[in-house]
């Protein structure tokens, strides 16, 4: 929940001058071409155009009076003899209304600030009651603001009924604020534009529109040419800078080329030494491989010889065992034969 933005401008400020002042400043600062095709007429001829200008002139006059009422409120003693008792009474009543509105708005803003600090209690009944009370008080501000508007109209009406007082008040231009004077200047400038617009016929308006269109296209072409020239100028500057830089790079390049030649010579020496070392390594590796292969052949030969020798020994042992067995068998046979002969002799 947030309180609606309510602010009361300074006393007798009148309309919102900030927006109109912005328009006026933009118009003054814009680079417009010279006014082409001045209107053929110099005076308003129709009733409608005269009424329009009359309304605008009356508005400017009222604004000039209203923007000086702040001076009246601040110097009431000096202004009473100049404006009269009725006008000063209306001014004081109006000032009281404005002060009441400012007090109420200040009170509501303070209440709103306190409620924002206690937002964690939004669900509490007392919080909702205070919110409702603030909304009710806010609804009472609109009638008060309407009273202030009516009071302003009443003061202007009294001033218009007393031309002498209005003239005396209008003469106090130095006491008008800078913002109010800027607003009036904007209205006067608007009056000039509107007056010229009302003097211009439809055909002149078409011619002026075409003239402005042609000027705009010409400006666009000129701007394109300017942009092109600026780009070319920037490119030339970059090229010039690239040439102070090219000379420096050329010197650096020559130094680096000398260093490169020296490095190439060192590289060639290193390559030659590396080639010799590589060749020696290849010879050593080849010799080492041949030696390893010779050792492998010798190991295989020794292993084969050992195997053959073991086989020979085993066969020799087996042959000796066979011989012993055969001899023992022969001896046994001889013994058996001897025994058989002995038995045969006994039987006989």
Q: Which of 203-207, 337-341, 344-348 is predicted with the least confidence, judged by mean pLDDT?
A: 344-348
pLDDT tens digits along 234-253: 888 888 877 767 788 888 88
Radius of gyration of the chain (CA): 62
Tell me the C-alpha distance between 280 and 231, whole Å.
Answer: 67
Per-residue pLDDT, 41: 62
Q: Which residues contact 17 (CB under 8 A, 6 or more apart)?
A: 179, 180, 182, 183, 186
| The predicted structure's pLDDT at residue 166 | 80
pLDDT for residue 223: 92
Report the range of poorest mean pLDDT among 20-34, 40-54, 314-328: 20-34
C-alpha closest to that of 100 among 63, 153, 62, 137: 137
User: How confident is the model over 315-335, as pLDDT tens digits?
Assistant: 888 888 877 777 777 776 666
Number of Cβ within 10 Å of residue 83's Cβ equals 24
**Is the pLDDT reported for residue 21 higher than 60?**
no
**Of residues 120 and 299, more confidently modeled:** 299
Supply the pLDDT for residue 226.
92
How confident is the model at residue 27, as a pLDDT?
Answer: 37
Domain boundaries, the chain: 17-200
pLDDT at 1 over 50: no
Q: Cα separation of 187 and 18, whole Å?
A: 13
Q: List pLDDT tens digits, range 140-157.
A: 899 999 998 998 899 888
Main-chain dihedrals φ then ψ at residue 13, nearest 5 degrees: -65, -35
Mean pLDDT is highest, among 171-185, 188-202, 293-307, for 293-307
Chain-wide mean pLDDT for the chain?
78
pLDDT, tens only, 58-117: 988 888 888 877 777 776 666 666 777 888 888 888 888 888 998 999 988 998 888 888
Given a contact cutoff of 8 angstroms between Cβ atoms, the answer to whether 152 and 66 are in contact is: yes
Nearest C-alpha neighbor of 190 from the set 69, 55, 45: 55
Residue 161: what pLDDT? 87
pLDDT in tens, 198-224: 887 778 778 778 888 889 899 999 999
* Burial class of residue 72 in the structure, from the number of CB atoms within 10 Å of its CB (0-12 exposed, 13-18 middle, 19+ buried): buried
Res 340: pLDDT: 59
- Percentages helix, strand, coil for the chain, rounded to the nearest 5? 85, 0, 15
The answer for residues whose C-beta is within 8 angstroms of residue 135's C-beta and 6 or more apart is none
**Which range has the top average pLDDT, 47-56, 93-102, 222-231?**
222-231
pLDDT band of residue 38 (cuts 50, 70, 90) is: low
> To which residue do tokens 């005076």 refer?
43
The H or E element spanning position 157 is: helix 141-161
Return the biggest CA–CA distance within the chain.
Answer: 206
Of the candidates 102, 97, 94, the residue with the CA atom closest to the CA atom of residue 72? 94
């Amino acid at each position: 929940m947030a309180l609606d933005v309510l602010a009361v401008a300074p006393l007798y400020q009148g309309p919102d001058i900030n927006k109109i002042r912005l328009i006026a400043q933009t118009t003054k600062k814009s680079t417009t071409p010279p006014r082409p095709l001045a209107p053929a007429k110099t005076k308003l001829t129709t009733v409608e155009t005269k009424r329009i200008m009359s309304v605008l002139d009356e508005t400017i006059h009222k604004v000039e009076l209203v923007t000086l009422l702040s001076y009246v409120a601040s110097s009431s003693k000096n202004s009473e003899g100049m404006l009269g008792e009725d006008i000063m009474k209306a001014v004081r009543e109006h000032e009281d209304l404005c002060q009441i509105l400012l007090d109420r708005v200040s009170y509501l803003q303070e209440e709103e600030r306190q409620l924002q600090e206690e937002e964690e209690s939004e669900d509490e009944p007392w919080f909702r009651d205070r919110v409702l009370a603030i909304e009710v008080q806010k609804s009472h501000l609109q009638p008060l603001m309407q009273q202030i508007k009516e009071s302003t109209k009443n003061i202007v009406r009294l001033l218009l009924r007393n031309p002498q007082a209005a003239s005396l008040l209008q003469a106090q231009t130095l006491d008008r604020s800078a913002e109010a004077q800027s607003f009036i200047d904007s209205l006067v400038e608007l009056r000039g534009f509107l007056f010229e617009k009302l003097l211009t016929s439809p055909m002149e308006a078409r011619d002026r529109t075409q003239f402005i269109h042609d000027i705009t296209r010409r400006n666009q072409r000129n701007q394109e040419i300017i942009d092109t020239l600026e780009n070319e100028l920037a490119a030339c500057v970059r090229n010039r800078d690239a040439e102070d830089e090219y000379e420096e790079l050329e010197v650096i390049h020559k130094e680096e080329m000398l260093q490169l030649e020296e490095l190439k010579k060192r590289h060639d020496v290193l390559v030659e030494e590396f080639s010799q070392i590589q060749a020696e390594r290849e010879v050593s590796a080849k010799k080492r491989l041949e030696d390893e292969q010779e050792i492998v052949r010798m190991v295989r030969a020794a292993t084969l010889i050992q195997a053959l020798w073991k086989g020979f020994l085993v066969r020799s042992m087996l042959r000796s065992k066979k011989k012993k067995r055969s001899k023992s068998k022969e001896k046994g046979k001889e013994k058996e034969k001897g025994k058989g002969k002995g038995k045969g002799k006994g039987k006989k």
